[in-house]
Structure formats: C-alpha cells, structure tokens
Amino acid sequence: MAKKDGSLNRRGFLKGAAAGAAASAASLVTDTPQAAAQGGASTAAAVPAPTQEQVARDAAAVRPPVSVRAVQRPGSDLMVQVLKDMELEYVAGNPGSSFEGLQESFINYGNPPNKMPEFITALHEESAVTMAHGYGKAEGKPMIALLHGTIGVQHAAMSIYQAYYDRTPVLMIAGRDEGFIQAHTAHDMAAMVRSFTKWDAQPKTLEQSLAALQRAYNEAITPPMGPTLVVLDTELQKEEARELKIPAYRPPQIAGIDLTKAREIAKGLLDAQNPRIEVRRLRTAQGARLSVELAELVGASAGTGATTGPMSFPQRHPLCGPGSSTAYDYTLGLEIPAAQASIIGPGLATLLERDSANIGFGGIAPAAGGRGARGGAGATSATAIQADAEASLPLLIEEVKRQLTPDKRRIVEERKAKHAEANQKARIEALTQAVQTKRNGWDSSPVATARIYAELWPWIKNEDWCLASPSGFSGAHNVQLWDHNKPYSYLGGQGAGGMGYGAPASVGAALAAKSRNRIVINIQCDGDLNYAPGVLWTAVHHKLPLLTIMHNNRAWHQELMFVEYMCGVRGRGTDRGHIGTSLRDPFIDYAKMAAGYGMTSEGPISDPAKLAGAFKRGLDSAKRGEPYLIDVITQPR
Amino acid sequence: MSELRRTDHPGAPAIKLSRHPSSASSARRGILIVAVTAVLAIPAYAQRGNSQAPTSPVTGNAANGKAFYYSYSCYACHGYNGETGRAFVGNWSSNLATEENFIRFLRGRANVAPLAPSTSMPNFAENTLSDKQAKDIYAYIRTFKNAQPDVKNIPLLNQMVEDAARPSK
C-alpha cells in the first residue's frame, strides 16, 4: 500500500500498525504455541515496532483518547434503527472493511447497544447465510447476513442459492467500497447472485438505503419467500445524516383468498361428510396454528408435512393421520395440490423476469409438475387458487364460524372423536411395524443409525426441541420414531442438496432457540461438517443450546456407493471406489476438532451402549448454553 | 427430501435406474443418471428371505474374506455386520444359499442389465474379483450372526409404542 513517494496512505498505515500491534499482542501471551510462532514471524519485522503507548492500548490497558466525532449522526445508525424497527434479532457476519461503518453502528448504536440485532461472529460468509437460512426456517422470518464486497458475496453464493431454492427469507447486506481495493468492488454488486436472489437494490442515497432495507425485508417475507440483498456503499454508511427522518415501517400486505372463495371453501368443508385438509409448509408458526384451528372447527382429518420440513400441522394432533375413513369427499390443500380446492402461494417461477439465465433447471424455474412442484410452484390441481394459504386462513376460519350451525357443530364433534381414535390406532400400528426394522443392527458396533435416534428420543421427548439438520443421510429415523408437534420440530433438507449445511443451519436454529428455552439437535454428517467447521466456534462463542451428534461414517458415503456402482457397471472392480469418496488415512477426530473450537466434546463412540450416557451429558450441557459434540462412529447407512 | 433424490442407498425400497428423461444432452453424452424414483414402495417385510443362515459347505478363507469385504466396499451397502442398510443377516436370500449361488449372483449384476432396478448392486466381473476371492467373501459373511434382539427385549422401542397410546407433547 506504500505510495510511490514512500509515504503511506491511510489504509496502508492502518494495516501496518495493525500487524505490528498483533505481533506485539501475541508476544504478551507467548505461553501459547501459536502466539509464539506468530511473534517470531518475519512479516512483522517489516513494520516499525509499536510504542509502549500503542502496546498498552492494544492490550486494553488504556482507553483511546476522547476525540470529536467526525459525524454526529452517521448514516449507518439510521440503517441499524430501520433494522431494529423491523425487529431483526441477529446479524451474522465476518468482518469486512466495506461495512465497517455499519458494523460500528451494530455494536455501539442504540440502548442497549448490540441488541436487536445482536452481532453474531461468523467465520465464513457461507456460514453466515446458512445460519440465517436455518433461523429463517425455524422462525419464519429473516435474520441478517453481512457480506464483504465481491469476495463476501461470492463466498456466500452457494448458501444464497440454497436458501432461494428452499424459499426461505434471508436479509443480506453487502458493503461496497469504491475507493479501496478494486477487486472487492463492482458496479453492480448483486449481479453475480441475482439469478438466485429474490430482490436486490444498490441505493445511491442514504434515504434510498433506508427504504431499500425495509423493502428487502418485506420482499423476503412475502411469498414466494427468499433471500434479498441490499448493497450499501461505505460512504452512505459514514455520511452525516443530519435531520433525515427514518421512514415508518409498514409490513407487507400478503394476498389471501377473497370472500367469495372463502365462502365456497367453507361450504365445501362443512357440507362434506368426510372433509380432509392437507397441510404442507406454511410461512410461519401462526399459519400452522391457524391450520389446526380450521381442522378442529370442521372436524377434518389432516395430513402434515411436519416430518419433512417446518411450519406444518402437528404430527400427533388427534386429527392428524388418515382419519376414520380415507374416502374423503372434500379435500382442501394448504400449499399443496388437492382434489377439490388448494390454496397455493406464488412460486419462484413468477420471478422469471429477473435474470434467470442460469436457473432454468430443477425446482426453480419450471412451473408445472415433477421436481418443479415445490409445494407451490408446480401446482397441478385444476382448482388451485394462487394465494398465500396462511394469509387466507383467517378469512376462511371466520367464514366457517359463520356457517357453522348447531347441527353441524354436533356432527363435527362426533367426527373428531372418531378421527382421534382411528389416528391413534394408526400411529400405534405404524410404530409397531417401524420398530421391527429399527432394531436392525441394534447392538452393532459401529453404531446403527436407527439406534442414535431411538436412544436420543427419551432424552428430548419432554423438552422443547428442534431437529435442525437434514436427517435423510442418517436414515431419517425421526420420521417414524419421533413426534413432530411444533412448527420447528424438523427443519427439513438442505434446500438444494448442497453440503456444508447441517452445522450452520443448526447454529441459526439455535440462535432462534436461545431466547425461547428450546434446544437444537444437529445429527451431523461428517462430510458435511468439513465444508466450514468454524461455525462450531460461533456456537460456543454465543453460548447456544446446541447438541451435535456425529453421523461419522468416514466417507461421503452416498458418493462412495455411486462410484462403487459405476465401477461395477463398467466391470472394473469396486476396490478403488473409496478413492475420492472416503475420509480415511487418517480418520478425522471430530471430538478434537470441536475441542479446538472450544466446544465440549466426547468420542469417538462405537459402542451403542455408551450412547445414552453421552446424550444425557450432551443435553445437560447444551441446556446450559454450552454446546456439545459427540462423535459417533456409525454404520455406513 | 432432496438428498434422497439420487439415492440408491440400502433401505430405499426400490430404485429405478434410467437415463435422465429430460436431459437429452446428458443422454447424448451417455451419462447414466440414477433417477429419483422409488418405483414401488415394497415394504421391507415383503422382501424377507430365510431368517435362518444357510448351512451349505463353505470352502473359502473367512480371514481373507474379511479384507475383501472391506476393500471391495461390501460394507458400504450392507453394513459392517450385514445387519444394517441393505441387510442380509436374518434375511438370507437364496442368492446367498450356496457359494455357487453367490458367485452367480455377483456376476449378474449391474453391467448385465444396468437399466433394471433389480441390479442396483454393482457387478463383480471375474477379472476384478476371482471365484476364489468371492468364496472367501462368502466364507466371511457366513460368520455373521444375527445379533439383533427381539423388539420385546428392547425396552426403549417398547416404550415408544406404549407412548403412542398416550397424548403427545
């Protein structure tokens, strides 16, 4: 950063001073091997030795001198106030100079400072966005992820793609600094992720910035929900706001069905002898509650998506199940196609006016059928109504109440009793059958995956729990063995099947859980954890109620089986199928990895008899806000 | 669940293997894609073989077989004990009844009829796995014992079924 005349510009000076201070600070703690090594690093020799005063300040022995603030009311204070007004709980980021003004406001502005939102230290932008992804699925609303210029946005790209695919609200803010490092800025910062970002803006003024943050929030939570991005210039963060007023926040108006449709559907449900309500993923917990209210009012049996994702009908509610008869004569689908009527919010296919050059595949672009049918985009029911199901429920409930006669009320009560009995019987039968297969390999060493789920259940069944990690690779045994009764009981798959999701999504869910007296379970695939394991440190640093149990089969096991199969198809032998698919030579010690990040841990455990004790210790610790990791060596599948 | 879309992992009921129906370019490149479809949800109990282990003669070397069971990644789908994933212990197929059946079975896998769902197990051609090696593997898997207890002897699972009769939290 030295200029030609040999003088240093501001940033160069700061960088040099920082390096010198870091080296000096390290020398103060030379009892740690890392610090000793850094203290002797040759890079530190290039900068002048710090003064005693600098060393003292760096060690926090003295306070910095009081000086006149450059601005009285920095623009970033107003930005943070806008975010406070929208009640955003958390902002996750790893630091970047392009948002240094904003970060300073996050940590210092407000009373109390660093609350609503609280700054969560991430170690990778991909982790920050996936934390927000997990939080968004657990709470049905966004938290913020901070991204540093072009490099931060690209680090985050995979996570943004996944949240987009998963229709999850995330509010992202990218800093932009034109005057610093050219490689870190761009004329149109959001362009590189626009294909899979629902809405973005790069405002030119502070006033526009405040409005853009409000709109980004509203766009994120309006169906189809998704990640949104506001690019904020560093100069706007630092400018003097003077008397600029903060615009009042107005929540979005989300379109539900109209009164005519509500009357028609209410009549259909009440006139039916055996009505059915199929519920999939609604937007928020309120939607799940309203779906229960509707089913109870009309005495309908209900289908649920609670074992595949969040915000659905409680699995063990007496009305949830096949009901006393599966000959349904009126079926209402909520975010799912149904025979008679379905209310389905707009899909991401409606966003195709945006740059969609790279997303014409999978579940994003196609509007009809097959893999495009993501609970909304691919509705094929002839009677599908494009409106948000959750927003439609209040009017529908009101209309049902209006049409309910005493006679119908009596019939509903009789029907509910029959459904409750039949559903309980069906549950017992399903479970009785399921346990016959779950015992497979019960005493095996390494541990059978079903035993992990079975052993864990008694410890969590009376807790308020959330399984935040995808369970498919570890056998999805929760689907049959556990009761998913809360809108956040199980948060479902990765979204786009991308690895590196389980741990950061669980940390995000644990952020949601922290103030709600909830615990989060992460059954963590080993291959998945190695993408960005630094998120374990974030969990410890922020004292999150998180229990991580490794499904450690020492491979990207699905890929091992794919490659092995391909070896067989080509007749070349399977004995090299492990190359590039296995995590061996050496095995990775996850308990040590966690310990390195400051997380209490134990394992590896390969004896199933040792699980129960470990789970108890882990849960006790997690409930104290001390996250815990248990490395379990498992059967491959 | 998204991660199950390409899954032919053991435990999945049945897998349809086909060229991707909507990807002409992939088909032109001859790329086989394991399609997503679980063709028929055949319950596991409907596929059950003989609960008793075979008693036919064994001529291979079980110690060598153990090494091959690992190096040829048999464990990947069938578990380290044959009890998990695509389990065969306690569910002995006629393909495992004798050494001869086993070898015939290994030779008739995926490369013979790669599009048929029944051949989702890799093929083991003789030039990659000799008859002698196959017999060693057979000898090893014949040492596997059915160690899984009856459900009635697993209090944890019994408790779950009992709990289902009560209201859930």
Domain boundary at A204, A238, A272, which? Answer: A238
Q: Closest partner residue to A481 among B4, B151, B160, by Cβ?
A: B160
Residue A299 confidence (pLDDT)? 98
Confidence at A47, pLDDT banded by 50, 70, 90: low
Q: Examine residue A246 and state whether it is found in any structural domain, yes or no.
A: no
Question: How many other CB atoms are found less than 10 A from the CB of residue A495?
Answer: 23
pLDDT per position as a tens digit, A402-457: 999 999 999 999 999 999 999 999 999 999 999 999 999 999 999 999 999 999 99
Would the CB atoms of A454 and B156 count as touching at under 8 Å?
A: yes
Residue A53 confidence (pLDDT)? 72
Share of chain A above pLDDT 90, in %: 80
User: Same structural domain for residues A182 and A265?
Assistant: no
Residue A362 confidence (pLDDT)? 38
Examine the pLDDT at A527 and tell me if it is beyond 90.
yes
User: Same structural domain for residues A212 and A326?
Assistant: no
Would the CB atoms of A570 and B111 count as touching at under 8 Å?
A: yes
Q: Closest partner residue to A438 among B73, B123, B157, by Cβ?
A: B157
Q: Which residues of chain B have pLDDT under 50?
A: 1-47, 117-118
pLDDT per position as a tens digit, A102-145: 999 999 999 999 999 999 999 999 999 999 999 999 999 999 99
Examine the pLDDT at A229 and tell me if it is beyond 90.
yes
* Helix, strand or coil, per DSSP, at residue A341: strand
CATH of the domain at A346: 3.40.50.1220
Point out the least confidently predicted range of A185-199, A353-367, B140-154: A353-367
User: Same structural domain for residues A225 and A90?
Assistant: yes
Assess whether the previous peptide bond of A533 is cis (omega < 30° from 0).
no
A616 reaches B (C-beta below 8 A): no
User: Same structural domain for residues A408 and A502?
Assistant: no
Q: Examine residue A38 and state whether it is found in any structural domain, yes or no.
A: yes
Instruction: Determine what percent of chain B falls in helix, strand and coil, rounding each to the nearest 5.
Output: 40, 5, 60
Owner of token pair 């100069």:
A235
Say if CB A333 and CB A439 are below 8 A apart: no
Domain residues for the domain of A108 are: 75-238
Question: Which residues, including other chains, have CB under 8 Å from residue B51's CB and lie 6 or more apart?
Answer: B90, B91, B92, B146
Element (H, E) at A267: helix A259-271
Share of chain A above pLDDT 70, in %: 85
Domain boundary at A179, A206, A238, which? Answer: A238
Query: How far A526 CA sits from the closest chain B CA (Å)?
Result: 15
Per CB-CB distance under 8 Å, the chain B contacts of A568 are 109-111, 121-124
Examine the pLDDT at A354 and tell me if it is beyond 90.
no
Would the CB atoms of B80 and A574 count as touching at under 8 Å?
A: no
Would the CB atoms of A316 and B168 count as touching at under 8 Å?
A: yes
How many contacts, defined by CB atoms under 8 Å, are there between A and B? 191
Residue B140 confidence (pLDDT)? 98
User: Same structural domain for residues A401 and A472?
Assistant: no
User: Same structural domain for residues A409 and A446?
Assistant: no
Owner of token pair 């927003």:
A391
Asked whether the ipTM of the predicted complex exceeds the cut of 0.85, the reply is no
User: Same structural domain for residues A44 and A82?
Assistant: no
CATH of the domain at A90: 3.40.50.970
Would the CB atoms of B149 and A483 count as touching at under 8 Å?
A: no
Residue A382 confidence (pLDDT)? 55
Residue B120 confidence (pLDDT)? 73
A residues 558-577 near B, CB within 8 Å? 558, 560-562, 564-575, 577
Q: Examine residue A155 and state whether it is found in any structural domain, yes or no.
A: yes
Confidence at A570, pLDDT banded by 50, 70, 90: confident
Examine the pLDDT at A539 and tell me if it is beyond 90.
yes
Residue A12 confidence (pLDDT)? 42
User: Same structural domain for residues A112 and A191?
Assistant: yes
User: Same structural domain for residues A444 and A552?
Assistant: yes
* Rounded average pLDDT over A206-226: 97
Residue A65 confidence (pLDDT)? 57
A40 or A406: which carries more pLDDT confidence? A406
Owner of token pair 């945006």:
A354
User: Same structural domain for residues A27 and A146?
Assistant: no
Residue A379 confidence (pLDDT)? 42
Q: For chain A, what is the mean pLDDT?
A: 89
Say if CB A614 and CB A621 are below 8 A apart: no
Which amino acid belongs to residue B57? P
User: Same structural domain for residues A268 and A389?
Assistant: yes
The CA distance from A349 to B147, in Å, is: 52
Per CB-CB distance under 8 Å, the chain B contacts of A431 are 160-161, 164
Examine the pLDDT at A352 and tell me if it is beyond 70.
no
A360 reaches B (C-beta below 8 A): no
Per CB-CB distance under 8 Å, the chain B contacts of A424 are 164-165
Per CB-CB distance under 8 Å, the chain A contacts of B2 are 470, 472, 493-497
Residue B114 confidence (pLDDT)? 53
Residue A381 confidence (pLDDT)? 53
CATH fold group of domain B2-148? Cytochrome Bc1 Complex; Chain D, domain 2 (1.10.760)
Confidence at A369, pLDDT banded by 50, 70, 90: very low
Examine the pLDDT at A366 and tell me if it is beyond 70.
no
* Rounded average pLDDT over A329-336: 96
User: Same structural domain for residues A265 and A392?
Assistant: yes
Examine the pLDDT at A581 and tell me if it is beyond 70.
yes
Residue A79 confidence (pLDDT)? 98
Owner of token pair 């389980």:
A502
A609 to each of A439, A507, A510, A630, how far by Cα in Å?
A: 14, 28, 28, 14
A339 or A80: which carries more pLDDT confidence? A80
Examine the pLDDT at A236 and tell me if it is beyond 80.
yes
Domain count, chain A: 4
